[in-house]
């Protein structure tokens, strides 16, 4: 009974958040308190302790460092240069948009930030060149997702933290995150290539990119910020890679054990402040506070669900009612359906990742395949107008008429297309590996 109550609370939190346009995390915190204290006999101190402090600190510190690149215009300038470099191949503009979004997001801007400043540019390019709004929207959305999934970027860090919280070792979580990044890089390339081929056959190729003007060069602050970002990425990535290559080397193991991306990002934030790369108050104000509250708030409710035995019960049901060969695909379908109305980072992965290890160990399935299937499925439908990605793209439309015309295209063409591509990929992933 208590497990059903917790599941109902998660669903109600999503519905209320969507209905009243309020942060889902706030509803989740309220339900965690009510169910935990009055339904399960937990003390208020125990409920407060379910706040995922590690995830909060990592997101806060990493986003704080990367916010300097947003505040001083480094990422936006870099996007302009990437688009300009691709102006001579107009037929490949979807890949240019995808590449620009991937690089900028991978450098730390994160999914929401990239969409916020690249979606308007993309829709403008679509209007001026004749590129399909569906193709342009999917290109920028896919790119922002893929880049953010990189192991040292926002989503990749959250995935790694959720996996280690669920019992995965640090090195294995790193490998799983690399698998997620590679998968979410492959699927968009195949989908966009197919859309370009279909567009050419229908005679709807891009007209021209001659209007794209040469951007001004990066200034001192922007060059320094880019250099500092690359150094931080190397600092975070090299020790775990060295540990995988040299597992018996004591020195490598020592250094890798001391690497923490949250603490490293804090050090680099101080360096950025000392180098005057951006205003401290602007950097803090630009942090994705809404995302942080949503992820941590839902994390509290998920922790209450774990204490109530909900996760174990759900995992047991999946393990006994779905054939082992179809487990990853089933997870992908569930993630895709959830992502139509909810956030991948805030709701889908915190809810599904804790189920993976128990089921994988029981049925002898590689956990990496299930983790990948969840993220690929969830991000396939993130372009839905009722999800975060689609709503940001709709918000970038110049007027209500354009917005009304784009909404059904995102819901009935882009989201189903992404879903089919993701399920085909998950099937291949399951039966090939």
**Per-position DSSP letters for 27-94, written without gaps between them:** HHHHHHHHHHHHHS---HHHHHTTS-HHHHHHHHHHHHHHHHHHHTTHHHHHHHHHHHHTTT-GGGHH
Lowest mean pLDDT among 164-168, 172-176, 392-396: 392-396
> 9-29 pLDDT, tens per residue?
988 998 898 788 888 899 999
Res. 90 pLDDT band, cuts 50 70 90: low
Does the pTM of the predicted model rise above 0.95? no
Least confident interval from 62-71, 115-124, 174-183, 254-263: 115-124
- pLDDT at residue 218 in the model: 92
pLDDT of the residue at 410: 86
Q: Looking at residue 321, what is its pLDDT?
A: 86
* Percent of the chain with pLDDT strictly greater than 90: 44
Quick one: pLDDT band at residue 136, thresholds 50, 70, 90?
A: confident
pLDDT in the model for residue 351: 87
Q: What is the pLDDT of residues 364-390, one digit of tens each?
A: 899 999 999 999 999 998 888 777 678
Mean pLDDT of the chain: 87
- Residue 399: its pLDDT value, please? 67
Over residues 267-300, the pLDDT tens digits come to: 999 999 999 999 999 999 988 888 889 889 988 9
Contacts of 116-123 spanning 24+ positions with Cβ under 8 A:
116/392, 117/75, 117/76, 117/79, 118/79, 118/143, 118/144, 119/392, 119/393, 119/395, 119/396, 120/396, 121/79, 121/83, 122/97, 122/396, 123/393, 123/396, 123/397, 123/398, 123/402
Q: What was the pLDDT predicted at 202?
A: 67
Residue 312: how many other CB atoms lie within 10 Å: 15
């Amino acid at each position: 009974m208590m497990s059903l109550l917790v599941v109902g609370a998660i669903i109600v939190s999503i519905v209320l958040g969507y209905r009243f346009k309020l942060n889902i995390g706030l509803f989740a915190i309220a339900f965690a308190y009510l169910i935990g204290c009055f339904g399960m006999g937990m003390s208020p101190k125990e409920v407060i302790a379910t706040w995922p402090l590690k995830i909060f600190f990592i997101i806060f510190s990493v986003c704080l460092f990367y916010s300097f690149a947003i505040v001083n215009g480094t990422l936006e300038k870099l996007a302009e240069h990437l688009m300009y470099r691709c102006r001579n191949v107009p037929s490949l503009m979807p890949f240019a948009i995808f590449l620009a979004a991937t690089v900028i997001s991978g450098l730390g801007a994160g999914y929401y930030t990239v969409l916020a400043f690249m979606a308007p540019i993309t829709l403008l390019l679509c209007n001026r060149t004749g590129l399909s709004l569906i193709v342009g929207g999917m290109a920028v959305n896919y790119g922002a997702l893929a880049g953010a999934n990189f192991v040292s970027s926002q989503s990749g860090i959250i995935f790694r933290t959720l996996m280690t919280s669920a019992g995965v070792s640090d090195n294995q979580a790193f490998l799983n995150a690399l698998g997620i990044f590679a998968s979410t890089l492959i699927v968009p390339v195949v989908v966009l290539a197919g859309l370009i081929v279909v567009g050419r056959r229908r005679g709807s190729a891009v007209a021209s990119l001659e209007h794209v003007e040469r951007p001004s060069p990066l200034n001192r602050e922007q060059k320094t910020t880019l250099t500092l970002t690359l150094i931080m990425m190397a600092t975070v990535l090299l020790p775990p890679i060295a540990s995988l290559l040299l597992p018996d080397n004591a020195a490598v193991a020592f250094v890798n054990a001391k690497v923490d991306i949250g603490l490293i990002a804090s050090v680099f934030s101080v360096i950025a402040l000392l180098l005057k790369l951006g205003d401290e108050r602007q950097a803090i104000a630009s942090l994705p506070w809404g995302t942080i509250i949503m992820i941590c708030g839902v994390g509290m409710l998920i922790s209450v669900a774990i204490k109530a035995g909900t996760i174990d019960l759900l995992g047991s049901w999946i393990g006994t009612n779905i054939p082992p060969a179809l487990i990853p695909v089933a997870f992908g379908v569930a993630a895709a359906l959830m992502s139509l109305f909810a956030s991948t980072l805030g709701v889908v992965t915190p809810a599904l990742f804790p189920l993976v290890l128990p089921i994988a160990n029981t049925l002898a399935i590689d956990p990496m395949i299930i983790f990948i299937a969840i993220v690929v499925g969830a991000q396939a439908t993130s372009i839905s107008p009722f999800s975060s990605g689609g709503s940001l793209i709709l918000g970038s439309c110049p007027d209500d008429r354009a917005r009304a015309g784009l909404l059904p295209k995102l819901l009935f063409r882009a989201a189903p297309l992404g879903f089919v591509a993701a399920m085909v990929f998950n099937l291949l992933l399951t039966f090939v590996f």
